[in-house]
Amino acid sequence: MSEDSRPARPVHIPNRGELKRKAVNYKKGLDLRLDDALRQKMDALVQASASAFLDETAEQIKELRERISAAISSSAEERRALVEDVREQAFQIKGMGGVFGYPLLTEFAKSLHDFLKTIDGDLDDLQLEIVSIHIDTLYVVVAHKISGSGGALEAQLRASLKAAVEKAKAKESQA
């Protein structure tokens, strides 16, 4: 191997410690102990954020419900755009639901997102109905502020959604 074709040797640049000097409390360290007053402030902030999340999500879902209703008489191109929008919003709700203590919201949004990932184009009437049911289910969780995993009614909702999705998949595979 000639000298020209050898890779250049790495050059070691010593750490001058500038980042360490710029760090907060680098000499003393960072005290991460929380007193009761700070904990209460943090809890209040989380509660306010959760409330804002629910309000924003309720508005999102109301808008989706209106768009789904209008989609029945819309063009194929408009339905494709709707699929993309609903998929994106379901993805966002899925991610945030668990953060604020609403795992059912995450679960139902995941179901909707997963269902829409299988659709490449226009929604047929059955698929549109399944999307509508998902959105209505999300709305129930938000409107009633159902935190945790829910009870018997929520288990029925889960089973109904799963059955509807399976029915649509079976119909699609027959076509």
Residue 41 lies in a domain: yes
* pLDDT score, position 9: 84
Tens-digit pLDDT string for the chain (175 aa): 555 677 788 887 777 666 666 665 556 666 667 789 888 998 898 888 888 999 999 999 999 999 888 887 888 788 888 888 999 999 999 999 988 889 999 999 999 999 998 887 777 888 888 889 999 999 988 998 888 877 777 788 888 888 888 887 777 777 6
Residue 23 lies in a domain: no
* pLDDT score, position 134: 92
User: Which amino acid type is present at position 15?
Assistant: N
Residue 162 lies in a domain: yes
* pLDDT score, position 138: 92
Residue 81 lies in a domain: yes
Residue 3 lies in a domain: no
* pLDDT score, position 126: 84
E-only strand ranges, 86-169: none
- CA–centroid distance for 130 within its chain: 19
* pLDDT score, position 119: 82
Domain span holding position 166: 34-174
Give how many domains the chain has, as a whole number. Answer: 1
Residue 75 lies in a domain: yes
The C-alpha atoms of residue 175 and residue 170 are separated, in whole angstroms, by: 9
- Listed in sequence order, the residues at least 6 apart from 54 whose beta carbon sits closer than 8 Å to its beta carbon are 100, 102, 142, 145
pTM over 0.75: no
* pLDDT score, position 25: 58
Residue 16 lies in a domain: no
What does 52-108 look like in DSSP terms, one character per residue?
HHHHHHHHHHHHHHHHHHHHTTS-HHHHHHHHHHHHHHHHHHHHHHTTTT-HHHHHH
Residue 11 lies in a domain: no
**What CATH number does residue 113 fall under?**
1.20.120
